[in-house]
Amino acid sequence: MHATEEAISRLPKVDLHLHLDGAIRTQTILELGQKNNLSLPADDVEQLAEHVQVQPSCRSLTDFLACFEFFYPVLQYPESVERIAYELCEDLSQQGIIYAETRFAPVLLLDEGATQRDMVEAALRGLSRGCEEFDLPVRLILCAYRGTPAEKSLELVKLADEYQDQGIAGLDFAGDESRYETSEHKEALALAHECNLPLTVHAGEAGSVDNIREAVDLGADRIGHGVRLIDDPQLLQTVVEKQIPLELCLTSNLQTQAVSSIEEHPFPEFYRQGVKVTLNTDDPKISNTDLDFEYNLAARSFGFSIDQLKEISINGIDAAFVDDSMKNKLLAKVD
């Protein structure tokens, strides 16, 4: 029998693929818009939600990303970033989550004159305050962004290294994988490697399995999404042998049409073949989901039992960018 909702809500879980900007409350978008005199497509929460949350008509990653365009102007201020980081801790603390890694791309938030450093420090301030107040460890992954200047990525890696002991968990490469190659940011990647910064790479979501191969070759410690790994059985075996975890996000994959239906999602096949799969939310507020919903979706659609979901939660802990003593603390909460 598949796991019940109640058992899932009691299961301690971790979220490793969670975009800070995609976790913003609609109410907060509204308030930040008013505070900074920015025009938004609506002036009450319900109507604004129709613009900034994914609608059933969403048919592609492009449609999905259009939701972000409406509110990106409100994020261009360090105080905004600090606030959403803090509020994320509060939201996560109400969901039975025992650890999370949130991520954002500072390079996309420089329109109003802030620097990447301003934004990184703001996010860390918000997280540090939130973690303490809501008694939940939440670390930050910095996203370098494909399609932006390589020197910005290099600067970001230096910042990640500088703050590695102060809340930075690792580095991610995000941005349009169908148009740009991660290897364009060679220097940043080399430095990240030199500084022992854990690396995850968005690959094989909207783009092809070749991007996953590139990520593996670049030494990625985890793969963001990796849905298209199903297209290359040999690479899949490599990913199993190297025990490279996949950060899968079911609702997001459905909304961006990375898969056309939940029945076609390769998640259960990955699991069967021994890939270290994890369940995550991606952009919970934009997608109108949370981690319980994702676990329930997996239980309902793929017939996972509570023991199998527990195994998936443990995969998440194993895959977390934390040291062994922290992993053991987290594991003790699940067992």
> Which residue, 40 or 61, has its beta carbon nearer to Zn ion?
61
| Sign of the torsion formed by the C-alpha atoms of 312, 13, 284 and 218 | negative
144 neighbors 157 (Cβ within 8 angstroms)? yes
Q: How far is CA 303 from CA 265, 299, 307, 322, in A?
A: 13, 5, 11, 31
Q: How many residues make up the chain in this entry?
A: 335
Backbone phi, psi, residue 204, to 5°: 70, 30
CA angle 124, 139, 315 (to 5 degrees): 170
| CB-nearer residue toward Zn ion: 11 or 203 | 203
By CB under 5 A, the count of residues binding Zn ion is: 1
Q: Which is nearer to Zn ion, 40 or 294 (CB)?
A: 294
CB of 283 to Zn ion, least distance (A): 7
Closest residue to Zn ion using C-beta atoms:
282
Residues 53, 25: contact at Cβ < 8 Å? Answer: no
Based on the residue annotation, tell me whether 205 is a catalytic residue of this protein: yes
- Indicate the DSSP class of residue 289: -
Radius of gyration of the chain (CA): 19
- Shortest distance, position 16 Cβ to Zn ion, whole Å: 11
The three-class DSSP label of residue 265 is coil
Considering beta carbons, is residue 82 or 282 the nearer one to Zn ion? 282
Q: Considering the complex, state which of residue 282 and residue 294 has its C-beta at the smaller distance from Zn ion.
A: 282
Q: Which residue has tokens 């073949």?
A: 273
With H, G, I as helix, E, B as strand and everything else as coil, classify residue 303: coil
CA pair distance 239, 198, nearest whole angstrom: 17
Which candidate in 82, 155, 205, 294 is catalytic?
205
- Of residues 245-304, which lie at the interface with Zn ion (CB under 5 A)? 282
Cβ-based nearer residue to Zn ion, 21 or 282: 282
Written as one string, the DSSP assignment of 29-64 is HHHHHHHTT---S-SSHHHHHHHHS--TT--SHHHH
Contacts with Zn ion by CB under 5 A lie at: 282
Residues with a catalytic annotation lie at: 205
